[in-house]
Amino acid sequence: SSLMRNGSGAGLRASGGSTGNAGGLDETQRSVQSLAGSFADIFELGGVDDLDPSLADGHHVVYDREVPFELRVQDGDSVPSEPGTLEAIRCKILALGDEHAPQHCRIELTSEHDLFFHYTHSVDEASFRQMQEQQKLMIDFPDYMSVVIKMLNKCIKETHSYVAVFVMERDCGTAKRGNARLDFIQNMEYKFVELLACDFLASTEEVVRNQIAFRYNNLKSKVNTMQSRLQEISSLVKAKNPSLLLQLQKSTGRPSNRR
């Protein structure tokens, strides 16, 4: 009986020590998770987003997502004869004034595959009236942005039923980009129906240059912030649990600083 009690007591003491270590590990884990959780915030908030040249004239972003586009190239007035290529295009919609009663709307298209791909669609109430008459649209200007956003989201979620086709005109002599058109098309199984068409212009060299500089500086700022957070995590783990740091470094193939 005495042996059992002594054994039980030793077991309890051992268990208590293990619990203490586990508590320390849990504390380290919580601290690491807290720092690691901020990695997502780096890309959500960004470091230099306020310097975005798109916001320089008072516009604010109401939509910013990558959308699958079918890209086609048209030489002059000829109709594109070959099917286009599918690519994820970043669509940024900006409004001047109240989002629900904007004075002006602008859509910017960019590509991660081509830094010089930059097209803009600008529309106010007067130019929208022309679109309304030409395309027999049943909406008013205040509803225009929400309709475009709805179309873009449908192209993301319902790829078999909704397609965004972006047709770019190209000068055969200079190969420069010029006008373009974005067509939202619905597949009705028995026919394709064009729902909405938006005219775009290729941005000027100055605009493209400013956008590339902004994207580079923004990404550089995020990478620097991420490296700083990673160093904080490494220092924390090294102080709390050096063996865990060694294990992490081995699993990622990083050299150890430990002698």
- The predicted model gives 232-251 an average pLDDT of 75
For the chain, the C-alpha Rg in angstroms (whole number) is 28
From CA 108, how far away is CA 208, in angstroms rounded? Answer: 11
- The DSSP H or E segment spanning 139 is none
Please give the mean pLDDT across all residues of the chain: 78
From CA 235, how far away is CA 15, in angstroms rounded? Answer: 29
Look at residue 255 in the predicted model and tell me its pLDDT: 57
pLDDT greater than 70 at residue 246 = yes
According to DSSP H, which parts of the chain are helical? 2-45, 125-135, 141-157, 205-240, 242-252
Look at residue 253 in the predicted model and tell me its pLDDT: 63
- The predicted model gives 36-44 an average pLDDT of 52
pLDDT greater than 90 at residue 61 = yes
From CA 61, how far away is CA 95, in angstroms rounded? Answer: 7
- The predicted model gives 180-197 an average pLDDT of 93
**124 closest CA partner among 103, 98, 149:** 103
From CA 232, how far away is CA 197, in angstroms rounded? Answer: 50
Which of 17-26, 62-71, 162-171 tops mean pLDDT? 62-71
Residue 203 identity (one-letter amino acid): S
Which of 15-24, 64-73, 74-83 tops mean pLDDT? 64-73
Place 64 in a pLDDT band, splitting at 50, 70 and 90.
very high
- The predicted model gives 235-248 an average pLDDT of 75
Look at residue 30 in the predicted model and tell me its pLDDT: 59
Token pair, residue 222, equals 């995020």
Token pair, residue 63, equals 């939509």
Look at residue 78 in the predicted model and tell me its pLDDT: 62
Place 122 in a pLDDT band, splitting at 50, 70 and 90.
very high
Range with the lowest mean pLDDT among 3-7, 19-23, 56-60, 158-162?
Answer: 3-7
Place 178 in a pLDDT band, splitting at 50, 70 and 90.
confident
Q: Which residue has the tokens 């002698």?
A: 259
pLDDT greater than 90 at residue 32 = no
**243 closest CA partner among 5, 7, 4, 24:** 24
Place 13 in a pLDDT band, splitting at 50, 70 and 90.
very low
pTM: 0.68
Higher-confidence position of 161 and 252: 161
Look at residue 2 in the predicted model and tell me its pLDDT: 41
- pLDDT, tens digit, for every residue of 88-114? 999 999 999 998 899 999 999 999 888
